[in-house]
Amino acid sequence: MKTLSIDIGGTTIKSAVIDNGQLFDKKSFPTSKNLAELAELLQTLIKNYQNNESFEKVALAVPGAVLETGIVKFGGAVTYLNQVDLISLVQSFFPGKVVVENDAKAATLGEMKRGNLQGVENAAALILGTGVGLGIVINGKLYKGEHRQAGEISFLVRDRQIVGIDSFVGSGLSAVALIAKLAKVLEVPKDGKLVFDELKKNTNPEAEEILNAYCQEIALLCFNLQTILDLEKIVIGGGISQQKSLIDKIQMNYKQLFLVSPLIEQTLSKISIEAAKFKADANLFGAAEVK
């Protein structure tokens, strides 16, 4: 089914037509400031796509918890989505099928159907963006949990001295937070590509220390997930996952954890950690797979 996929993120809204696993006519916009602006953007966006394409479904990936009815229980980084019935909103100007899913769960679906989690029975997709998202695959199926909030890893505590939102994974370990720290030290704009290009060109011990500390924490997160869920593989998604050096550092730090004690290696099996196939476009591909 040809689908218009729309990924509503904390900083950017992306869209593309997905047809048989292929992506066409990708667009990107700054995230709308309020619900009225978003509704206007979605209506205009859908109309403009309809001028060039015929599609039967609109699929939206959003941050936060999404109820089975399509109501966004909590919009995460896009707070004005709280309690919004996105399906009804979009159907007011698009008569076809409309589906809504949490962005990390959508990304996981995309990796399960056509990406690096194909055929993997027990796995996870860790999405690093404005926040931190997690999709969990148990026995070959996307696990949503009793309240459809499995994987809301942004609320995992990373510092027992809780002093604010930065004490939680979603704020302290987001890709946006990392890029902001690195950009400040490197004195470049807050752009992931520019930051990593600068790191490749010039040695900066302070920036390297920040990056290594971040990768160590992500590796710890993967390690902890493995102890609880007994996975085969974790894929890292989000735009930052395009940086091979980041994935390499996460893998290295993960392997080092097994050297802490022989008991760890005797008890736990090492898992594969790699970049998601669709990287920054995982949410777009995955949303199209939502039924």
**Chain segment 179-207, per-residue pLDDT in tens:** 999 999 999 999 999 999 999 998 999 99
State the Cα–Cα distance between residues 3 and 39, nearest whole angstrom.
Answer: 19
Q: Which CATH number, 3.40.50.720, 3.40.640.10, 3.30.420.40, 3.20.20.70, labels domain 3-107?
A: 3.30.420.40
pLDDT at 79: 95
Region of poorest pLDDT, from 131-145, 159-173, 262-276: 159-173
State the Cα–Cα distance between residues 202 and 183, nearest whole angstrom.
Answer: 13
pLDDT at position 129 over 80: yes
State the Cα–Cα distance between residues 123 and 29, nearest whole angstrom.
Answer: 32
State the Cα–Cα distance between residues 10 and 12, nearest whole angstrom.
Answer: 6
**Residue found under tokens 């399906």:** 87
pLDDT at position 221 over 90: yes
pLDDT at 158: 86
With left for phi above 0 and alpha for psi between -120 and 50, is residue 64 left, alpha or beta? left
Strands 22-30 and 12-19: antiparallel
Q: What is the DSSP track for 98-163?
A: EEEEEHHHHHHHHHHHHSTTTT-SSEEEEEESSSEEEEEEETTEEE--TTS-TT-GGG-BS-SS--
Under the banding of pLDDT at 50, 70 and 90, the label for residue 282 is very high
Under the banding of pLDDT at 50, 70 and 90, the label for residue 242 is very high
> Can you give the three-state secondary structure of 181-248, one letter per residue?
HHHHHHCCCCCHHHHHHHHHHCCCHHHHHHHHHHHHHHHHHHHHHHHHHCCCEEEEECHHHHCHHHHH
Give the largest Cα separation in the chain, rounded: 62
For the chain, how many residues are written? Answer: 291
pLDDT at 83: 97
Q: What is the mean pLDDT of residues 6-29?
A: 95
b or e along 244-268 (b: 16 or more beta carbons within 10 Å of the residue's beta carbon)?
A: eebbebbbebbeebbeeeeeeeeee
Fold match, 3-107 / 118-275? yes
The mean of the pLDDT values for the chain is 95
pLDDT at position 57 over 90: yes
Residue with the bigger pLDDT between 7 and 131: it is 7
pLDDT at position 159 over 80: no
pLDDT at 167: 86
Per-residue pLDDT tens digits for 250-269? 999 999 999 999 999 999 99
pLDDT at position 222 over 90: yes
Under the banding of pLDDT at 50, 70 and 90, the label for residue 163 is confident
Q: What is the residue extent of each domain of the chain?
A: 3-107, 118-275
pLDDT at 252: 98
Q: The tokens of 80 are what?
A: 């004005």
pLDDT at position 12 over 80: yes
In three-state secondary structure terms, 63 is coil
State the CB neighbour count (10 A cutoff) for residue 201: 9
State the Cα–Cα distance between residues 134 and 127, nearest whole angstrom.
Answer: 6
Under the banding of pLDDT at 50, 70 and 90, the label for residue 32 is very high
Residues near 138 by Cβ (< 8 Å), separated by ≥ 6?
122, 229
Region of poorest pLDDT, from 44-48, 67-71, 86-90: 67-71
- Could you tell me which CATH number the domain at 118-275 has? 3.30.420.40
Under the banding of pLDDT at 50, 70 and 90, the label for residue 44 is very high
pLDDT at 160: 78
pLDDT at 166: 81
pLDDT at position 66 over 90: yes
